[in-house]
Amino acid sequence: MLPMLKRFPPNFRTDRELRDLQFAGLRWTVGHAWNNSPFYRKRLDESGVSPGSIRSLEDLGRIPFTTAEDLLEGYPLPLLAVPTRDILRIHSSSGTTGKRKILCYTRKDIDDWQDMFGRCYEMAGLSREDRVQICVGYGLWSAGAGFQLGAERFGAMAIPSGPGNLELQCNFLIDLQTTVLCCTASMGLLVAEEVHARGLRGRLRLKKVILGAERTSQAMLQTIRELLGVEEVYDIPGLTELYGPGTGLSCRHNVGIHYWSDYYILEILDPESLAPVAPGEIGEMVYTTLRKEAAPLLRYRSRDLTRLIEGPCPCGCILPRHDRILGRSDDMVVFRGVNVYPGQVDEVLSRIGGIGSEYQVLLDRKADGKDYMTVKVERAADAAEADTASVARIVASEIKRNLMVSCAVDMIPYGTLPRSERKTKRVFDNRPV
Please tell me the distance from the alpha carbon of residue 304 to that of residue 340, in angstroms, as a whole number. Answer: 14
Q: What is the pLDDT along the chain (433 residues), one digit of tens a residue?
A: 444 689 999 989 999 999 999 999 999 999 999 999 999 999 999 999 999 999 999 999 999 999 999 999 999 999 999 999 999 999 987 544 457 889 999 999 999 999 999 999 999 999 999 999 999 888 887 888 999 999 999 999 999 999 889 999 999 999 999 999 999 888 898 899 999 999 999 999 999 999 986 667 677 788 899 999 999 999 999 888 999 999 999 999 989 999 999 999 999 999 989 999 998 899 999 999 999 999 999 999 999 989 999 999 999 999 999 998 877 776 677 788 777 777 778 778 888 888 887 888 889 988 877 888 999 998 888 777 767 888 889 999 998 988 888 899 999 888 888 876 666 778 888 888 7
Choose one of 303, 329, 355: the last residue of a domain: 329
Q: What is the DSSP letter of 259?
A: E
Choose one of 312, 329, 346: the last residue of a domain: 329
Instruction: Write out the H or E segment, with its range, that includes residue 33.
Output: helix 15-36
Asked if 78 and 39 touch (Cβ cutoff 8 Å), the reply is yes
**292 and 378 co-located in one domain:** no
Q: Which pTM was predicted?
A: 0.82
Under DSSP, is residue 104 helix (H, G, I), strand (E, B) or coil?
Answer: strand
Phi, psi angle pair for 423, to nearest 5°: -115, 135
Strand partners, 133: 159, 181
**317 and 235 co-located in one domain:** yes
Please tell me the distance from the alpha carbon of residue 120 to that of residue 74, in angstroms, as a whole number. Answer: 32
Please tell me the distance from the alpha carbon of residue 215 to that of residue 408, in angstroms, as a whole number. Answer: 24
Please tell me the distance from the alpha carbon of residue 175 to that of residue 34, in angstroms, as a whole number. Answer: 53
Please tell me the distance from the alpha carbon of residue 148 to that of residue 44, in angstroms, as a whole number. Answer: 37
Asked if 397 and 363 touch (Cβ cutoff 8 Å), the reply is no
Choose one of 278, 306, 329: the last residue of a domain: 329
Could you tell me the residue range of the domain that residue 356 belongs to?
332-429
**277 and 366 co-located in one domain:** no
**295 and 400 co-located in one domain:** no
Domain count, the chain: 2
**176 and 139 co-located in one domain:** yes
Q: Please give the radius of gyration of the chain, using alpha carbons only, rounded to the nearest integer.
A: 22
**146 and 21 co-located in one domain:** yes
Chain Cα centroid distance, residue 389: 35
**113 and 50 co-located in one domain:** yes
